[in-house]
Structure 1
Amino acid sequence: MAPPGPYSGTSTLALVARASALTFGLVYGTMKLKYLKAKDKSHKKAEAKAHH
């Protein structure tokens, strides 16, 4: 079975959907990581303050 050509609507749509899903995943992952790192940092800061 031959793969659909670059101009058949479904493959273009699938490609766009895949690309945007990948982009969304990367952006979401990066944001979540930054949030968790910031949360961890502030938690450690609060913990250090409590010890002193």
Structure 2
Amino acid sequence: MAPPPGPYSGVSQLALVARASAFAVGLVYGSMKLKYLKMKAKSHKKAEAKDHHQ
């Protein structure tokens, strides 16, 4: 009889949950970072346009 899978074998429930949550955290972080960078670029363009008009 084979021993039960360990937590780092990649097939245990814990490993699957850990992988899924890491993926979800990565998605959330990535989308937040993208939003932040877009806002930063937008405000930078606004500031540039403002400076250009003066």
TM-score range relative to shorter protein: 0.7 to 0.9
**Percent identity between the two aligned chains:** 79
Give the alignment's Cα RMSD to 1 decimal.
1.9
What number of residue pairs does the alignment pair up?
Answer: 47
Distance 2:22 2:6 in 1: 18
TM-score (norm 1): 0.81
Distance 1:9 1:34 in 2: 39
TM-score (norm 2): 0.78
Q: CA deviation at 1:9?
A: 6.8
Deviating 4+ runs (over 6 angstroms): none
